[in-house]
Structure 1
């Protein structure tokens, strides 16, 4: 099994680099035409795929390559549901009025009347 490991690594690396090269737009292929890169990847084991992967990564990190790609639009809506006022309003539709916790109603007692003295006023 160990003697097949270099072959498997080379095969996986070649397939990955080949798909990467094929999917890359023609204007983003670094230094050589795409067909030359495909030939190098397929016929030069280890070195071809590794050079392609290194060169394509440095090509993408260049500033002029980033200018050609459109920037992703910023989200117009809040990203989290608890930040979205429309979502919070929609929760009221699903709330059961029987389970809604209401604040306690204030008792209607006057501040200057004492309950003990009110009972005595009727007897005297």
Structure 2
């Protein structure tokens, strides 16, 4: 088992570094073209993957290498629940009916020009 440990470590490092290199966007690859890095990682055991991992980590840690994305505008974000009128309207159905303010009931009186119903006999 101890005989295979260096080979196993090299294989794990190579696979991890290879996937890391392949997934890195072309503009973020440090110093060399991506194809050269892939060849170094595959054909130079231990050194290739370790150099890739070190170079890719130091490339990201420099502030000038980090791409700053503009923050989302406040109008693009959804409003907080206490600022959302739809949410506040939905709370009315959960309130205690004894404490809720009831809307005024519609009047039974016909409007001017409404001759369909006769309030005295209740027939249409």
TM bracket (short chain): 0.5 to 0.7
CA RMSD of aligned residues (A): 3.1
Structure 1 residue 38 corresponds to structure 2 residue 38? yes
With normalisation by structure 1, the TM-score equals: 0.59
Unaligned runs of 5+ in 1: 102-124
> Do the aligned partners of residues 53 and 97 (structure 1) sit closer, same or farther apart at CA in structure 2, a change above 3 Å counting?
same
- Which portions of structure 1, spanning 4 or more consecutive aligned residues, are displaced by more than 4 angstroms? 98-101
Aligned length: 98
Unaligned runs of 5+ in 2: 101-124
Structure 1 residue 51 corresponds to structure 2 residue 51? yes
C-alpha displacement at 1:100, in angstroms? 6.1
| In structure 1, C-alpha distance between the alignment counterparts of 2:90 and 2:28, rounded to whole Å | 48
Structure 1 residue 97 corresponds to structure 2 residue 96? yes
Higher helix share: 1
> Do the aligned partners of residues 85 and 40 (structure 1) sit closer, same or farther apart at CA in structure 2, a change above 3 Å counting?
same
With normalisation by structure 2, the TM-score equals: 0.59
| In structure 1, C-alpha distance between the alignment counterparts of 2:20 and 2:90, rounded to whole Å | 46
After superposition, give the CA deviation of every residue in 1:22-70 in whole Å (9 maximum; x if it has no partner).
122222221222111111100111111111011011112223322xx34
| In structure 1, C-alpha distance between the alignment counterparts of 2:9 and 2:90, rounded to whole Å | 54
